[in-house]
């Protein structure tokens, strides 16, 4: 069975940056299970896997525009400490939900603390980076009607309600 929209896909993968450093991997754990065509994984990897089947191996480099986007300086802001009311200790690397410029929600990460000035970054940590994937397709099956309706895979390796 080939990978296409509304298929439940299981993959083993290793993600590295251009320096060859491992960023993420399923090695030593369960395969990643996702619903193909539902935006559960980055668009570049989804495109590279379309048409593949169990047993296929793929090595692909994905540019930022088909991964987590280009790095945007507009998503970096310096805020006053008073905006973090109720948080006793702030540390570099902490993440918070915040209002996005488009009115939605985004995750921001504290990048710097200078007295009362807190610099936050709304870019995804992998924004602006080319991502290199080594993938082995473990399994492809038809997704259930419920999985399709929910937009993700249920059960082992997928989302649990």
**pLDDT per position as a tens digit, 87-111:** 999 999 999 998 877 788 889 999 9
pTM of this structure: 0.83
Give domain status of residue 158, yes or no. no
Q: Are residues 134 and 63 in the same domain?
A: yes
Reported as a single tens digit per residue, the pLDDT across 8-52 is 999 999 999 999 999 999 999 999 999 999 999 999 999 999 999
How far apart CA 139 and CA 37 sit, in angstroms, is 16
Instruction: Report if residue 160 sits inside a domain.
Output: no
Query: Are residues 117 and 144 both part of a single domain?
Result: no
And the tokens for 73? Answer: 């300086």
Q: What is the DSSP letter of 80?
A: E
Range of the domain at 107: 73-121
Number of domains in the chain: 2
| Torsion angle (degrees, nearest 10) of CA 124, 156, 143, 9 | 60
């Amino acid at each position: 069975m080939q990978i296409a929209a509304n298929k439940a896909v299981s993959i083993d993968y290793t993600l590295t940056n251009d320096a060859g450093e491992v960023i993420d991997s399923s090695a030593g754990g369960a395969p990643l299970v996702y619903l193909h065509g539902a935006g559960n994984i980055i668009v570049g990897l989804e495109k590279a896997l379309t048409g593949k089947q169990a047993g296929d191996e793929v090595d692909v480099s994905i540019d930022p525009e088909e991964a987590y986007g280009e790095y945007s300086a507009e998503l970096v802001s310096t805020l006053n400490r008073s905006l973090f009311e109720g948080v006793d200790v702030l540390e570099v690397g902490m993440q918070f939900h915040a209002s996005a410029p488009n009115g939605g929600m985004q995750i921001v990460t504290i990048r710097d603390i200078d007295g009362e000035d807190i610099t936050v970054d709304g870019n995804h940590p992998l924004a602006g980076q080319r991502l290199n994937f080594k993938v082995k397709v473990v399994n492809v099956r038809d997704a259930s009607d419920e999985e399709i309706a929910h937009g993700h895979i249920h059960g082992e390796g997928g989302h649990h309600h």
